């Protein structure tokens, strides 16, 4: 009999995760076994649990913002030393051969596999990962604080890059990604405008505390024309709103893995060379850059800690928009 671990596992979308006793996974060739120290809860986990984002493995242990210590190495794994602190992101692997992979755009690889979706993730005491897609965690961050950097930070940073120079930046949705991106953008000297759920005074106050120039309701007008807007909330209706808020030439970047349908809107909203684009997953370059930029910019992720067994409560709080910053499971 091998060792066992506790894990929170999804058997069917729409059902709560179940606390289970599973075998500790064995690292395969090129893989590391991590003792999980913290795993943040992402909106994509919620989409998977709620059945809005399908096609992965079932049953599945969700969680793709893992901070762990190397507890074992599979054959040939040599990038990280035993005991080293390692981060595991959403992109678990890519083919390495296709056009996208060869161009450093592995986020678009048709054979890309994702942590906590195609392979078991970090809502557990142990997890295995392909070491080529893992990151060393900067010393500036504790385990719990580092976890949200691994998706909210990475994909948020990719979205920020897509916004270009954009001195006046709107953020639609001020959760885990929004509050990290805001700190980087402010450090870069941009003016940040935070749009939250209508009437969410707590999120608006949080945005102002972090140094945003303005915070208000996502359904209302912007106080001045924006150069770009990043839409983190998975709400398609915000796309025409954001287009209405950007100046001619402005960009609207949809940064979520999943979004509800975008309602039709008059062409006048897009006119003037405004554009809309999406962001898919992350490349390893996004992760490397974010982990270099975040400590320099003094990014401090706000977290709320939950026990592993309370993963369902964390998901419920995220669904209600009741978390300031990011929910993090600590086994």
**Can you give the binding site for Zn ion, defined by CB under 5 A?**
42, 44, 94-95, 98, 101, 109, 151
Nearest approach in angstroms of CB 21 to Zn ion is: 26
Of 94 and 149, CB closest to Zn ion: 94
Nearest approach in angstroms of CB 75 to Zn ion is: 23
Total number of residues shown for the chain: 331
Check if the beta carbon of residue 184 is closer than 8 Å to that of residue 158.
no
Sign for the pseudo-dihedral over CA of 19, 22, 24, 29: negative
Nearest approach in angstroms of CB 274 to Zn ion is: 27
Nearest approach in angstroms of CB 105 to Zn ion is: 9
Nearest approach in angstroms of CB 89 to Zn ion is: 8
User: For the chain, first and last CA: distance in Å?
Assistant: 23
Q: Which residues on adjacent β-strands are paired with residue 275? A: 251
Of 109 and 180, CB closest to Zn ion: 109
* DSSP sequence for 137-182: PPTTS-HHHHGGGGTHHHHHHHHHHHT-S-SEEEEE--SHHHHHHH
Of 24 and 149, CB closest to Zn ion: 149
Written as six digits, the tokens of 251 are: 């960009």
Of 39 and 245, CB closest to Zn ion: 39
What backbone phi and psi angles, to 5 degrees, belong to 307?
A: -75, 155
Written as six digits, the tokens of 26 are: 């064995």
Of 93 and 125, CB closest to Zn ion: 93
Check if the beta carbon of residue 57 is closer than 8 Å to that of residue 164.
no
Of 270 and 285, CB closest to Zn ion: 285
Q: How far apart are CA 181 and CA 184, in angstroms?
A: 5
Q: How far apart are CA 230 and CA 155, in angstroms?
A: 11
Nearest approach in angstroms of CB 90 to Zn ion is: 5
Check if the beta carbon of residue 121 is closer than 8 Å to that of residue 68.
no
Written as six digits, the tokens of 245 are: 């808020």
Q: How far apart are CA 243 and CA 76, in angstroms?
A: 50
Nearest approach in angstroms of CB 101 to Zn ion is: 3
Of 3 and 110, CB closest to Zn ion: 110
Nearest approach in angstroms of CB 245 to Zn ion is: 25
Of 39 and 42, CB closest to Zn ion: 42
Q: How far apart are CA 206 and CA 202, in angstroms?
A: 6
């Amino acid at each position: 009999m091998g060792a066992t671990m506790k894990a929170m596992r999804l058997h069917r979308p729409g059902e709560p995760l179940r606390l289970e006793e599973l075998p500790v996974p064995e690292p395969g060739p090129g893989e590391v076994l991590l003792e999980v120290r913290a795993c943040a809860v992402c909106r994509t986990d919620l989409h998977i649990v709620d059945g809005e984002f399908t096609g992965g493995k079932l049953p599945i242990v969700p969680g793709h913002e893992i901070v762990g210590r190397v507890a074992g190495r599979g054959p040939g794994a040599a990038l990280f030393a035993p005991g080293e602190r390692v981060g595991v992101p959403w992109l678990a692997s890519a083919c390495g051969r296709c056009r996208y992979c060869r161009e450093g755009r592995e986020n678009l690889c048709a054979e890309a596999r994702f942590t906590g979706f195609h392979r078991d993730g970090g809502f557990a005491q142990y997890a295995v990962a392909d070491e080529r897609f893992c990151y060393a965690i900067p010393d500036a961050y504790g385990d719990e604080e580092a976890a949200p950097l691994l998706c909210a930070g990475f994909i948020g940073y990719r979205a920020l890059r897509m916004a270009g120079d954009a001195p006046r930046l709107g953020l639609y949705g001020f959760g885990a990604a929004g509050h990290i991106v805001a700190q980087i953008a402010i450090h870069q000297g941009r003016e940040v405008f935070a749009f939250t759920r209508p009437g969410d005074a707590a999120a608006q106050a949080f945005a102002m505390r972090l140094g945003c120039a303005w915070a208000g309701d996502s359904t209302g007008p912007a106080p001045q024309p924006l150069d770009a807007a990043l839409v983190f909330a998975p709400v398609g209706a915000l796309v025409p709103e954001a287009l209405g808020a950007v100046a001619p030439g402005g960009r609207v970047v949809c940064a979520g893995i999943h979004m509800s349908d975008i309602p039709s809107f008059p062409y006048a909203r897009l006119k003037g060379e405004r554009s809309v684009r999406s962001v898919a997953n992350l490349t390893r370059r996004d992760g490397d850059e974010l982990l270099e930029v975040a400590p320099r910019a003094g990014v401090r992720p706000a977290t709320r800690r939950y026990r592993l067994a309370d993963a369902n409560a964390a998901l419920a709080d995220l669904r209600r928009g009741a978390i300031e910053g990011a929910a993090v499971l600590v086994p």
